[in-house]
């Protein structure tokens, strides 16, 4: 019976960890881009996802030698039986 209980620990950890994903950065106009992310974990924060998107977008612009400027963003926290936590970010990469 002890072997069965050891199987529950990894299963519970997987459920708590959930499944996070971040989209590729896609063009949305001249020097304007969009990125989105989601997380299926129970209690996941849309704000945390949005923070991760800001970092990825900033790094993307810096790699081009440009400056990151947010245009619009939104986020939704995880809701039981209603949906995943998610966030979206529209941004520009402007010359320095």
CATH number, domain of 25, equals 3.30.1360
Average pLDDT over residues 22-41: 94
- Could you give the residue ranges of the DSSP H alpha helices within 1-96? 2-17, 46-63
pLDDT range class, residue 47, cuts 50, 70, 90: very high
Contacts with 7 (C-beta within 8 Å, 6 or more apart), sequence order: none
* CA 38 – CA 30 distance, rounded (Å): 26
- Residue 7: half-sphere exposure toward Cβ, Cα within 13 Å: 4
Give how many domains the chain has, as a whole number: 1
Find out whether 37 and 53 touch, Cβ atoms under 8 Å.
yes
Q: Which domain holds residue 69?
A: 2-95
Average pLDDT over residues 53-73: 97
Query: Residue 14: is its pLDDT beyond 70?
Result: no
Query: Residue 73: is its pLDDT beyond 80?
Result: yes
């Amino acid at each position: 019976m002890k072997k069965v209980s050891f199987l529950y620990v990894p299963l519970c950890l997987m459920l708590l960890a959930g499944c996070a994903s971040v989209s590729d950065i896609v063009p949305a106009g001249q020097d304007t881009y969009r990125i989105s992310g989601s997380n299926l974990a129970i209690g996941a924060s849309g704000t945390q996802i949005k923070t991760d998107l800001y970092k990825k977008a900033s790094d993307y612009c810096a790699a081009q030698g440009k400056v990151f400027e947010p245009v619009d963003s939104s986020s939704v926290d995880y809701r039981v039986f209603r949906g995943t936590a998610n966030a979206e970010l529209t941004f520009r990469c402007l010359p320095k």
